[in-house]
Amino acid sequence: DSLTGLHNRRSFNQHLDRLWRQAQREQKTLALLLCDVDHFKAYNDRYGHQAGDAVLQRIGAVFEANARRPLDMAVRLGGEEFALLLYGANEHEARLRAEALRAQVQALRMEHEASDTAREVTLSVGVSCLWPTPGNDLKRLYDLYEHADRALY
């Protein structure tokens, strides 16, 4: 992604497919954190798109810092949507990382007077964790994404 320096959706899709096959071989879990910047359209409307881009860059840096292990991946899916793919993380670890992301973004104290949630920029996170079992196909990856998306809302 040219704005944040993170992986983009296309890179994410390719990486996810490769990691899924590796997780099956190594019997490791995959966790997906799907994230939205809350009330981002209202932010852009109030402060302008340049300020919105600066917010996305700062949030991107938080995501990059949270992709700690070599097979973790921080992604800007598009607009104000981000994801963090965690290789080998169980559900408890993924939930802890989700809360850490949320808190780190809020700790940036980026003013957001147009938000219905808080007076600073906040992040909503949906978590999904998948343990590969023999015979699982790539459709399960769709389930991983869909579960995280439902959890986000």
Catalytic residue numbers, as ranges: 80
| Contacting residues for 68 by C-beta, under 8 A, at least 6 apart | none
Q: How far apart are CA 60 and CA 49, in angstroms?
A: 16
Q: How far apart are CA 38 and CA 69, in angstroms?
A: 27
How many Cβ atoms sit within 10 Å of the Cβ of residue 107? 10
Q: State both tokens at 54.
A: 């600066």
Q: How far apart are CA 55 and CA 49, in angstroms?
A: 10
Strand partners, 86: 31
Q: State both tokens at 26.
A: 């190594």
